[in-house]
Structure 1
Amino acid sequence: MTMRTILYTGKGGVGKTSVAAATALKAAKAGKKILVMSTDPAHSLADAFDSPIGPDPQLMAQNLWAQEMDQGQILEENWSDIQGYVTSLFEWQGADQLEAEELAMFPGMDELFGLLMIRRHHQEGNYDALIVDAAPTGETLKLLSLPDQMSWFVEKILPVERRVAKVIRPFARSTKNLPPLPEDSFFGAVKRFYEAVASVEDILTDSENASIRLVANAEKMVIAEARRAYTYLNLYSYGVDAVVVNRLLPDSVSDPYFRAWRESQARHMETINASFSPIPILTAKLFDREMFGLEALSELSEDVFADDEPLDMLFRGTTHDIVKNGEGYDVVWHLPLVEKENVDLSKKGAELSVKVGNYKRSIVLPDSMSRLEAVGAGVEGENLKVRLRDAG
């Protein structure tokens, strides 16, 4: 049986680690073997469980293991040959050995090696489900788009460079004026590295077994980042099956001091529903204490999931599609019960909003589409289609 994988991401500080740990704990209590793993360099799983966690899976409760990534072993398996050549280039340019080795570790490599650990756990198959506490959305989106960015280079450019290097290498060795050229082992390592990263993409885009959950607070900047993240996850075919809105003021808080805050959260919840519906919106209240330790995480899990099974695929598909045509793009929302009424349409920069009767939908478009104008919209069958065209 294929392992269920759930990756949690969100803007830093929204509580995604606590939600990931709570999800894992609730699933483990149901009898499933669960591993919750942090790929965020700023590990906080140990803080969430209030217990030390190491680089190897460690038993935290019955059926529940936790792991905070140490990239050493993954680095040795996937990066050492590449790092060796890049280090030699920096040394040729005048860096000392230590500086060269540090420069050869590019920004974001820690998070990337964490994603490669997902691949290892799938290969080993020791758990029923893997819950991933990933890096904040910005870093995670860059990593998840990496296979697409690498594919053209690996498939088209790398073979040519390999042939050229083979011809030039004997001459380059006889002069000190040319930089060191990579050996065949380097090109093989790059190809293996790409294949490993691409296999992680295959795991996380498996719509039957993997999904991403966005964690947010009812705050303007947090919601903006979550909306943008959802758009890009759609573009790269990563399925989002839930949005968890954390730290909502509970109904029991009636002090007038919090009235403005409560009204603000209510307005932001309207934006969240318009942006993500029909994806399930799960909520968690603001507790009166810090949420760490098994007891607190258990309480959080009950608040988020209630009677829902945390490992269920809560939603399949997308809220909208972006379709390219000869004249521009169409944004298509699937609204089964929508009736043919007047469409209220607005677009400001990258934000597109439409309203048809009681339905209101809003998305953040990719940056490359922000220049386009919304020139019309209409209901076609069960779909609401908005036409975007170049202003020129």
Structure 2
Amino acid sequence: MEGRSRVLLFTGKGGVGKTTLAAATAARLAVGGRKVLVCSADPAHSLGDAFDLSLTGEPSEVDTCLYAAHVDARGLVDKAWQDIRRHLRHALAGAGLDELDAAELTVLPGVDELLALTEVARLAREGQWEVVVVDCGPTAETLRLLALPEAVAGYLARLSTVDATHRLAEHLAGLRALLVDPATTSVRLVLTPERLVVAETRRTLTALALRGIQVDTLVANRLVPRASRWRGPAASWLRTRRAEQDAVLSELDASTPLPVRVVEHRPVEPVGRGPLLSLAEELYGDADPLAVPLGDARPLMSIRTVSDTAHELRIALPLTDASSLDLARVGDELAITVDGVRRLVALPVLLCRHTVVDATADGDGLVLRFESGKSGGPA
């Protein structure tokens, strides 16, 4: 993976300004001398509006060191997937499946989103970019998108008699490796300082941690300006609203070790290089947008030996009091479901012949106590 680009994924609830902030970050990085590609994987494709340019699926030059593109998922399906599907159908039929069964098995879920993500990975791998900034879709769509490589690879693993599916599964494994590599890829979550949005952000942090994907920064956008020197009803409303937003941000800051950057609401949407750079200056100040420590993310699971017969398994998930949690032992795997997001993770070999006897939660996640005995049973 030598020479791989640094990848920044911007996502957040719809309408919070993630596209503008992704564009501003890319513009700032390019001014600093890095060769940057900013691309949109959001079907809404508003990235071109931020630069006041018409973008296509091929990277085009926006400014010195800055390139931009829209990932056309539908076009990728039209160009690539039909050939892949025909190849798989032929291989499956050759393995003894009739034509109808083979056709059904090659209708993979989420193929258009999967190809969009694959295209981003290709650009990061093959392009001459130091940084690839990705404007992702709204949070729910992005979580589904980031889960696809693992989900589809699991689907293909069941088709174990076909060499073609092995090659595709290996490709998806490489794609997932890119997403979960903390030295290469991270997410920047954009939010507005409202309680409902912050609650969704906390759930997103848990879901991404469950997928093994690192978040490096939270960006609180559209704070109303301070009005300490103003007078009148409008100024009173602004002060009250800003106080509410500051209170929400204070609670958020206390609940996460992640840095929280803030951007005030602007009277007009920043469009074009100059306004975007002005926004980036407010967002990052004098700091390098990439000056966030990477590569030291905590593993999802770690073990502490308590005695010769007992061990504790810590699962690093940012949980809240409102989190809905379910754990189940499935053979040598642990099924973890948090707020409707489920993942099967293989238990460390040391614990496979042990039984879960207790489970507790604290500010750093879950702690499961295993003791030697028969394996299996619910967690």
Which bin holds the TM-score, normalised by the shorter protein? 0.7 to 0.9
Q: 1:315 to 1:287 in 2, by over 3 A?
A: farther
1:368 to partner: Cα distance: 7.5
Q: CA RMSD in A?
A: 3.9
2:372 counterpart residue number: none
Partner of 1:283: 262
Residue of 299, 308, 327 corresponding to 2:287? 308
**Number of paired residues?**
325
1:248 maps onto 2:251 in alignment: no
- Secondary structure in structure 2 of the residue aligned to 1:135: strand
Task: Establish whether residue 268 from structure 1 lines up as the match of residue 248 from structure 2.
Answer: yes
Distance 2:223 2:239 in 1: 13
Q: Is the 8 A contact 2:225 2:242 kept in 1?
A: no
Q: Is the 8 A contact 1:35 1:66 kept in 2?
A: yes
Q: Is the 8 A contact 2:36 2:129 kept in 1?
A: yes
- Alignment of 1:235 with 2:210, yes or no, is yes
C-alpha deviation, 1:55, in angstroms: 1.2
Give the TM-score of the pair, scaled to structure 1: 0.70
Post-superposition shift, 1:333?
9.1
Amino acid aligned to 1:236 = R
The change in CA–CA distance for 1:219 and 1:35 in structure 2 (over 3 A counts) is same
Which runs of structure 2 are paired with 1:338-353 in the superposition (5 Å)? 347-350=321-324
Q: Is the 8 A contact 1:319 1:333 kept in 2?
A: no
Q: Percent identity?
A: 32
Residues 1:63 and 2:84 aligned together: no
Cα distance change, pair 81–237 in 1 and its aligned pair in 2 (3 A):
same
> For the structure 1 residues 108 and 135, does the alpha-carbon distance in structure 2 shift closer, same or farther, using more than 3 Å as the test?
farther
Contact 1:49 1:292 in 2 (8 A): yes
- On the 8 A contact 1:346/1:374 being kept in 2, the answer is no
Q: Tell me the secondary structure at the aligned position of residue 82 of structure 1.
A: helix
Gaps (5+ residues) in structure 2?
94-98, 305-309, 326-336, 343-357, 370-377
Tell me if structure 2 keeps the 8 A contact 1:39–1:114.
yes
Corresponding residue for 1:140? 142
- Kindly report which structure 2 residues correspond to 1:1-392, keeping only aligned pairs within 5 A, or say none: 1-71=3-73, 72-73=75-76, 76-78=79-81, 80-82=83-85, 108-155=110-157, 157-159=158-160, 162=161, 187-252=162-227, 254=230, 255-277=235-257, 279-314=258-293, 317-318=296-297, 347-350=321-324, 365-367=338-340
Change (3 A) 1:310 1:44: same
Q: Which is worse superposed, 114-123 or 127-136?
A: 114-123
CA separation of 1:122 and 1:219: change in aligned 2, threshold 3 A: same
Residue type at the aligned position of 1:129: V
How far is the alpha carbon of 1:292 from its aligned partner?
1.6
TM-score of the pair, normalised by structure 2: 0.72
Q: 1:318 Cα deviation (Å)?
A: 4.8
Closer, same or farther: CA 376–301 of 1 in aligned 2, 3 Å: closer
Query: Aligned-pair distance for 1:280?
Result: 1.1
Tell me the distance in 2 between the aligned counterparts of 1:158 and 1:322.
29
**Cα displacement (A) at 1:40:** 0.9
CA contact (8 A) 2:45 2:70 kept: yes
Counterparts of 2:222 and 2:261 in 1: how far apart (Å)? 11
Residue identity matched to 2:111:
M
- Contact 1:81/1:189 (<8 A) preserved: no
Change (3 A) 1:153 1:218: same
Change (3 A) 1:375 1:140: closer
The CA deviation string for residues 65-108 of structure 1, in whole angstroms up to 9 with x for no partner, is 0000123346534553326878xx9xx99xxxxxx99xx87774
After superposition, give the CA deviation of every residue in 1:178-215 in whole Å (9 maximum; x if it has no partner).
Answer: xxxxxxxxx45443333333222211222222211111
Write the distance in 2 (CA, Å) between the matches of 1:286 and 1:350.
34
Specify the SS of the correspondent of 1:264.
helix
Question: For residues 264 and 317 of structure 1, do their structure 2 counterparts lie closer, same or farther at Cα, with a shift above 3 Å needed?
Answer: farther
